[in-house]
């Protein structure tokens, strides 16, 4: 799927629905998205409220999200956005797609390399997109569940500076957990 | 697969805590050995899930010290927002001192509350099947707002929530209620599903602040509902497992001492309304039961009007010899806008009840619900029962153009004419 700009641009403007322009941190990409999709981000919502009605023309710059990550995030938002866009009800209204369809989408969406996953979880946290944050955190949690420390370090790319003695000390400190 | 840099350890602390909150507690705590920076993160995770103790060698006995250790370690540190106990106990694993285990596990609930949790979920599955008995003492917490109890046995003490002044949300699933009273002054949302009530006593339910009420597929006697002035929505469904049915197939008191259904009812002389009066403030009501549940029909003799009701769904029970229940709602819900009727799919059930007789009061006013915009009948096909329903609606002043019929085989009908026969 091409960058969010393509798909949302067509759908949004043809139905006359309000769109919002989001700009990546390096200013390299501008994305026009349906308001309902953009408002899944509490951060964007706040920025719009603070800037007032006239600011949306220039687009909202997101200093902490690069173009590649923003494109992927907007893919999620477009899929999960409610069918109707009424700014206060955007959270409460159900998404346009069916439940099962969304679940399948989510599963596929997080099949990415660790670098991308980390970028997504960081972006979801900064942009305050609850659904995406839960999804990415759960994905990482699933990589930790039931694994040995060695396996976890390998999968998540964690480097440990613990000496064997230090590690023993930590284990003893929390002996009831081991 | 792993990227070169250790990026996860650089994630914002809030995100790391979120990830840890999604893990079973033992996995979360064990992250302390991953790296220096991970040593203490688990101490601040806002949520803790105690899950799967059968996986521990020795089951709940070795799991016990772990839970104790974690609850101790969280003392004085970051507050614990939510605690989820999902315990499975396998009695086949060896000799068990069940009372001792119950005492210990019960203490975990109170210790979690002392950690100031706002949300608590508690589920115990015991194999072979046995309900876990909660301690007979009220829970006390100024912080608890949401409580979920699954597969436990209650009692009068624990189901008195007057010491939980912030409690707003309660869900009980697959529980044995074992109390003649349930009470919470603050509760707003109540869901009771697949629970067992006494078969010969009615449980009094006092929830004066309730806004939404789900009471689905529970067994035993229909509870006595006290008034709920803030109630907005209620969804009630009785399936086969209730005791309020007459052995002689009547909807009024059969007077037969051998009929447990009626003998333990305590008819309209002793109480007026058992259940329906408590729901009269609702704007949105779904009421479904098999037609032999006599409580609704009896309640309607005494029940005041549903003066705020806007949408109503009636399932099965309203089909009776004289459609008294349906007619009652048409005349006692003055603001009703949408009515949905779902007669039973089983014609047999309906036909049996059509034969019973009783002493029913005659109709009052001839003109029914003037705000009514649509009556929707959802059925398998347009059978004799549906035709009867149409006649009743017609006779009570509902114009045909407001009636829509939706058949499960996909056909929709709009009424144009009715034969009076």
* Averaged pLDDT for residues A81-103: 65
Residue A5 has pLDDT above 60, yes or no: no
How far is residue A105's CA from residue B176's CA, in Å, rounded to a whole number?
Answer: 40
* Averaged pLDDT for residues B268-291: 86
Q: What is the pLDDT of residues B98-152, one digit of tens each?
A: 888 889 889 999 999 998 999 999 998 888 888 899 999 999 999 999 999 999 9
Q: Look at B3 and A178 and tell me if their CB atoms are within 8 Å.
A: no
Q: Which of B10, B11, B15 to mutate to test the interface with A (most CBs of A within 10 A)?
A: B15
Residue B355 has pLDDT above 90, yes or no: no
Task: Identify the pLDDT of residue B340.
Answer: 96
Task: Identify the pLDDT of residue B197.
Answer: 95
Q: What is the pLDDT of residues B366-404, one digit of tens each?
A: 566 788 999 999 988 888 889 999 999 988 888 888 999
Sequence-separated (6 or more) residues with CB below 8 Å from residue B279 = B213, B225, B228, B231, B234, B236, B285, B306
B contacts of A177 (beta carbons < 8 Å)? 26, 29-30, 32, 66, 69-70
A contacts of B36 (beta carbons < 8 Å)? 160-162, 166
Q: Look at A157 and B26 and tell me if their CB atoms are within 8 Å.
A: no
Give the strand order in the sheet containing A60-61.
A30-34, A19-23, A60-61
Q: Look at A159 and B6 and tell me if their CB atoms are within 8 Å.
A: yes
* Averaged pLDDT for residues A124-145: 94
B contacts of A154 (beta carbons < 8 Å)? 2
A177 reaches B (C-beta below 8 A):
yes
Q: Look at A122 and B23 and tell me if their CB atoms are within 8 Å.
A: no
Residue with the larger pLDDT of the pair A130 and B5: A130
> Å from A15 to nearest chain B CA?
31
Residue B328 has pLDDT above 80, yes or no: yes
Which two structure tokens, joined as six digits, stand for B243? Answer: 């005791």
Helix axis angle, A67-80 relative to A130-144, nearest 10°? 110
| Residue whose C-alpha is closest to residue A107's, from A78, A142, A155 | A142
Residue of A nearest to B68 (CA): A176
Q: Look at A113 and B9 and tell me if their CB atoms are within 8 Å.
A: no
Q: Which of B6, B7, B71 to mutate to test the interface with A (most CBs of A within 10 A)?
A: B7
Out of A4-8, A67-71, B310-314, the most confident range is: B310-314
How far is residue B124's CA from residue B146's CA, in Å, rounded to a whole number?
Answer: 18
Task: Identify the pLDDT of residue B327.
Answer: 92
Give CA angle at A127 (A76, B22), nearest 5°.
75
| Residue whose C-alpha is closest to residue A22's, from A3, A79, A121 | A3
Task: Identify the pLDDT of residue B268.
Answer: 46
> Å from A14 to nearest chain B CA?
33
Residues 106-145 of A with CB under 8 A from B: 113-115, 118, 121-122, 125, 133, 137-138, 140-141, 144-145
Q: Which of B3, B4, B5, B8 to mutate to test the interface with A (most CBs of A within 10 A)?
A: B8
Q: Look at B34 and A155 and tell me if their CB atoms are within 8 Å.
A: no
Question: With bands split at pLDDT 50, 70 and 90, how would you rate the model's confidence at A54?
Answer: low
How far is residue B203's CA from residue B178's CA, in Å, rounded to a whole number?
Answer: 9
How far is residue B266's CA from residue B11's CA, in Å, rounded to a whole number?
Answer: 64
Residue of B nearest to A111 (CA): B1
Which two structure tokens, joined as six digits, stand for A89? Answer: 């009800």
H helices of chain A, in order, are 4-14, 35-38, 42-51, 67-80, 99-109, 114-127, 130-144, 149-156, 164-173
Mean pLDDT computed over every residue of chain B: 86
A contacts of B52 (beta carbons < 8 Å)? none
How far is residue B204's CA from residue A107's CA, in Å, rounded to a whole number?
Answer: 46
Write the burial class of residue B100 (CB in 10 Å: 0-12 exposed, 13-18 middle, 19+ buried): exposed
Residues 64-103 of A with CB under 8 A from B: none
DSSP track, B88-125? EEEGGGS---HHHHHHHHHHHHHHHHHTT-SEEEEEEE
* Averaged pLDDT for residues B242-259: 81
B contacts of A125 (beta carbons < 8 Å)? 11-12, 14-15
Residue with the larger pLDDT of the pair A48 and B264: A48
* Averaged pLDDT for residues A128-133: 95
CA–centroid distance for A75 within its chain? 9
Residue with the larger pLDDT of the pair A93 and A39: A39
Lowest mean pLDDT among B85-94, B116-125, B156-165: B85-94
Kindly state the helix (H) or strand (E) to which residue B387 belongs, with its residue range.
helix B384-395
Mean pLDDT computed over every residue of chain A: 82
User: What is the pTM (predicted TM-score) of this model?
Assistant: 0.84
Task: Identify the pLDDT of residue B421.
Answer: 41
A178 reaches B (C-beta below 8 A):
yes
Question: With bands split at pLDDT 50, 70 and 90, how would you rate the model's confidence at A95?
Answer: low
Task: Identify the pLDDT of residue A12.
Answer: 42
Residues 228-247 of B with CB under 8 A from A: none
Question: With bands split at pLDDT 50, 70 and 90, how would you rate the model's confidence at B360?
Answer: very low
Q: Which of A172, A175, A177 to mutate to test the interface with B (most CBs of B within 10 A)?
A: A177
Q: Look at B15 and A137 and tell me if their CB atoms are within 8 Å.
A: yes
Q: Look at B26 and A177 and tell me if their CB atoms are within 8 Å.
A: yes
B11 reaches A (C-beta below 8 A):
yes
């Amino acid at each position: 799927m091409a960058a969010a700009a393509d798909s949302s641009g067509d759908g949004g403007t043809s139905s006359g629905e309000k769109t919002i322009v989001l700009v990546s941190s390096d200013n390299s990409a501008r994305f026009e998205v349906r308001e309902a999709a953009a408002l899944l981000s509490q951060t964007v919502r706040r920025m719009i409220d603070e800037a007032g009605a006239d600011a949306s023309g220039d687009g909202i710059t997101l200093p902490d999200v690069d173009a590649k990550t923003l494109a992927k995030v907007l893919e999620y938002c477009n899929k999960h956005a409610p069918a109707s866009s009424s700014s206060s009800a955007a959270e409460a209204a159900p998404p346009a797609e069916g439940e099962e369809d969304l679940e399948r989408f989510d599963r596929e969406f997080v099949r990415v390399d660790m670098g991308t996953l980390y970028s997504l979880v960081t972006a979801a946290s900064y942009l305050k997109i609850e659904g995406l944050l839960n999804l990415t955190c759960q994905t990482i949690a699933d990589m930790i569940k039931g694994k040995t420390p060695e396996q976890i370090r390998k999968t998540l790319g964690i480097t440990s500076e613990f000496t064997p003695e230090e590690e023993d000390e930590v284990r003893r400190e929390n002996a009831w957990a081991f | 697969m792993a990227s070169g840099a250790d990026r996860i350890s650089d994630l914002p602390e809030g995100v790391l805590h979120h990830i840890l909150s999604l893990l079973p507690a033992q996995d979360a705590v064990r992250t302390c050995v991953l790296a220096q920076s991970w040593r203490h993160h688990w101490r601040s995770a806002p949520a803790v899930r105690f899950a799967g103790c059968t996986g521990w060698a020795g089951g709940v006995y070795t799991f016990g010290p772990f839970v104790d250790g974690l609850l101790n370690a969280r003392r004085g540190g970051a507050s614990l927002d939510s605690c989820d106990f999902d315990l499975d106990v396998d009695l086949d694993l060896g000799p068990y001192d069940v009372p001792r285990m119950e005492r210990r596990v019960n203490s975990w609930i109170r210790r979690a509350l002392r950690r100031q949790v706002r949300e608590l979920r508690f589920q115990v599955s015991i194999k072979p099947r046995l309900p876990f008995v909660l301690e007979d003492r009220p829970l006390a917490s100024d912080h608890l707002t949401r409580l979920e109890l699954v597969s436990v046995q209650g009692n009068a003490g624990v189901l008195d929530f007057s010491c939980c002044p912030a409690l707003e949300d309660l869900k009980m699933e697959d529980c044995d209620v074992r109390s003649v009273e349930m009470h919470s002054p603050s509760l707003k949302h109540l869901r009771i599903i697949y629970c067992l009530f006494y078969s010969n006593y009615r449980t009094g339910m006092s929830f004066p602040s309730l806004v939404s009420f789900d009471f689905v597929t529970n067994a035993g006697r229909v509870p006595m509902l006290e008034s709920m002035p803030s109630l907005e929505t209620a969804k009630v469904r009785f399936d086969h497992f209730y005791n309020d049915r007459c052995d002689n197939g009547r909807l009024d008191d059969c007077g037969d001492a051998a009929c447990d259904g009626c003998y333990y009812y305590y008819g309209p002389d002793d109480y007026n309304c058992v259940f329906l009066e408590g729901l009269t403030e609702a704007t949105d009501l779904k009421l479904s039961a098999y037609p032999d549940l006599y409580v609704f029909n009896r309640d309607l003799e005494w029940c005041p009007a549903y003066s705020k009701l806007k949408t109503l769904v009636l399932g099965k029970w309203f089909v009776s010899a004289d459609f008294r229940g349906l007619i009652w709602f048409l005349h006692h819900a003055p603001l009703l806008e949408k009515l949905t009727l779902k007669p039973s799919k089983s014609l047999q059930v309906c036909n049996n009840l059509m034969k019973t007789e009783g002493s029913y009061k005659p109709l009052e006013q001839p003109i029914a619900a003037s705000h009514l915009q649509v009556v929707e009948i959802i059925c398998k096909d347009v059978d004799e029962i549906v035709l009867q329903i149409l006649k009743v609606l017609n006779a009570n002043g509902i114009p045909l153009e407001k009636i829509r019929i939706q058949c499960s085989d996909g056909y929709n009908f709009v009424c144009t004419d009715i034969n009076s026969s």
